[in-house]
Amino acid sequence: MLYIGVDLGTSSVKLVLMDETGKIHGTTSREYKLYFPQPGWSEQNPADWYNEAIAGLKDLLKDVDKSEVAGISFGGQMHGLVILDENDEVIRPAILWNDGRTQKQVDYLNNEIGKETLSKYTANIAFAGFTAPKILWVKENEPENFKKIKKIMLPKDYLAYKLSGTFCTDYSDASGMLLLDVKNRKWSKEMCDICGITEDMLPKLFDSFEKVGELKHDLAAELGLRDGVVIAAGAGDNAAAAVGTGTVGNNKCNISLGTSGTIFMSSDSFAVDSNNALHSFDHADGHFHLMGCMLSAASCNKWWMDEILKTKDYADEQKGIDKLGENHVFFLPYLMGERSPWNNPNARATFTGITMDTTREDMTQAVLEGVAFATRDMYEVAKSIGVAPKRTMICGGGAKSPLWRRMIANILNVEVDVPSCEEGPGMGGAMLAMVACGAYKSVEEAAAAIVKVDKTEKPDPELVAKYEARYQQFKTIYPALAETFDKII
């Protein structure tokens, strides 16, 4: 049978068609517009998601036996606010994860309600990207729209609703709303009261691998599919991508070196660090995960190459770097401020330790190492609460660099595995559909059967020792500059 994973991203929707063995039978992508009505605002039209997803499904299925399609599921951009009225019409454009208009509401939640209280209710604190601050923003700035709200949902859940008619979400995506009691896997009444909403405005909660309904008859006919195609709940993009890299079950890890960077650690047990430096979320496998997100990862290297060195030959710039663990130049990778573990939008990137004999290669090496050291910062927080995987998958554009993989392996002292197939959240979505259809008994079983390792970078004890000394130096730099960052903004 065939299964479809729908990756609803910020710039496009990507679709993957897979069978139970993990063989890819087709992929397609459709773009849509991103709107910036004011500086710092970021919005999209949910109708664009739906229209392009349907067009993508038609394109994906044009040359396959449509009777073989058994299920559809999702990985989606998280945190976005989609609100519908009593007629199921979208009230206003969706406010996205990267929208920055809610700082006043974030400050209210963190400082007046209090971080400790928020963590008690939801296991997390407020960030500008989260959904609850957006609800408060609409309440304060668009009261007429707020009064119309009958349904509140996340981006991928709008697609699930349009395809199946079921008002649903999954625990992993709901974890990023700041409305879910993550530990007890239920909506937080206290957070609903704080936001001025009622629980019936929120979708029914499902595990990511659960069937929420079936593809509507009229849509099945339009797409040429049989009746009975299963729609599964799906997951937030990071959790879906983790499924696609086999980061499920206890004590597994995935590092993503994309535009932003994440470290994602799955666990059978609930955990939260005392400073909420990492997000504590429910996972798509039915358990839990910790996740740290740095705002600039591979984008640091892109900035250094494109804007400063004026080159597109990234690989050539790395050829002369051969003295790992010996660099005296350090780079703080905070080009966009920083999320984990500092939660400081005022943090800035810096080079430290430059001397007259510093070379071009030293600077390039420092940029790559800075991202790896910052990843180690997040890993250390997880270690402090007993989550310490000794190997990790790695994905994203930066993972294509053998040098960067070697740095990650030795700076974190973990084995770094490269998956043989990387299709991101779409692959994870397809795997969740397989579980919902009964092709596998669990997400762990699906991952064990489908996810394969192409190559592994193992840490070298001598290099680990050198980098340990360098990391101890690196981790003193941000605390020394934190007050200065606040003064120069």
What pLDDT score does 489 carry? 76
Looking at this protein, which amino acid is placed at residue 48?
Answer: D
What pLDDT score does 343 carry? 86
In the set 99, 170, 173, 237, the catalytic residue is 237
H-type alpha helices, 123-180: 131-141, 143-148, 155-164, 171-174
List, for residues 38-87, the tens digit of each pLDDT value: 988 999 999 999 999 999 999 999 999 999 999 999 999 999 999 999 99
What pLDDT score does 345 carry? 85
What pLDDT score does 133 carry? 98
CA–CA distance, 20 with 1 (Å, rounded to integer): 7
What pLDDT score does 260 carry? 87
Q: Which residues in the chain land under pLDDT 50?
A: none
CA–CA distance, 291 with 110 (Å, rounded to integer): 20
What pLDDT score does 279 carry? 95
* Cβ neighbourhood burial of 23 (10 Å; 0-12, 13-18, 19+): exposed
CA–CA distance, 33 with 14 (Å, rounded to integer): 15
The half-sphere exposure of 474 on its side-chain side, counting CA atoms within 13 A, is: 29
CB 265 within 8 A of CB 238: no
What the chain holds in terms of domains, given with CATH numbers, is 2-238 (3.30.420.40), 246-421+459-488 (3.30.420.40)
Would you list which residues are annotated within the binding site?
78-79
Would you list which residues are annotated within the binding site for substrate?
78-79
CA–CA distance, 74 with 45 (Å, rounded to integer): 18
59 is catalytic: no
What pLDDT score does 422 carry? 87
What pLDDT score does 259 carry? 85
CA–CA distance, 421 with 406 (Å, rounded to integer): 20
List, for residues 232-275, the tens digit of each pLDDT value: 999 999 999 999 999 999 999 999 998 889 999 999 999 999 89
